[in-house]
Amino acid sequence: MPERDSRNPNRLNDHPRDDHPDHCLTRHAHLEAIDQLAASVLEDVTNDADLEPETARTVVRHVREVRAEVESVRRALPEDADIEVPMVVRRGVGSRSVLGPVTDCSEQSRDEPPG
């Protein structure tokens, strides 16, 4: 029988917490995800007739800045910078959440001697 989700006791967690380094994304994959999310926000704001024009312009400007910064980071990273970054992944009923990098693995990879 599935266990109750400790964060939300009304919800069943039928997938165990998954902190394995095999759930890895590259830095470029992270940047692509950020860019896609920003593009989605940009499209939503552009098509939202309920937003005040000044608010929409401000949001559009900031989201475009985010996308420009992502592109700058892509260009700044060397091609071989695509080392895998272990991710914390949580799964629930009908959902999968990537919560971010596994901190101790990131620290370990920085502390390891090159070789």
Contact 35/67 with Cβ under 8 angstroms? yes
* 81 or 32, which is more confident: 32
* 85 or 106, which is more confident: 85
| pLDDT of 15 | 47
Structural domain harbouring 90: 3-111
Report if pTM > 0.75: no
How many independent structural domains does the chain possess? Answer: 1
- Euclidean distance between CA atoms 45 and 51, whole angstroms: 8
pLDDT classification of 6: cutoffs 50, 70, 90: low
Angle in degrees, CA 18, 20, 22, rounded to 5: 120
Mean pLDDT of the chain: 75
Query: What is the per-residue pLDDT across 13-65, written as a single tens digit (0 to 9) for each?
Result: 544 444 444 455 678 888 999 999 999 999 999 999 999 999 999 999 999 99
| pLDDT of 19 | 46
- Euclidean distance between CA atoms 42 and 48, whole angstroms: 10
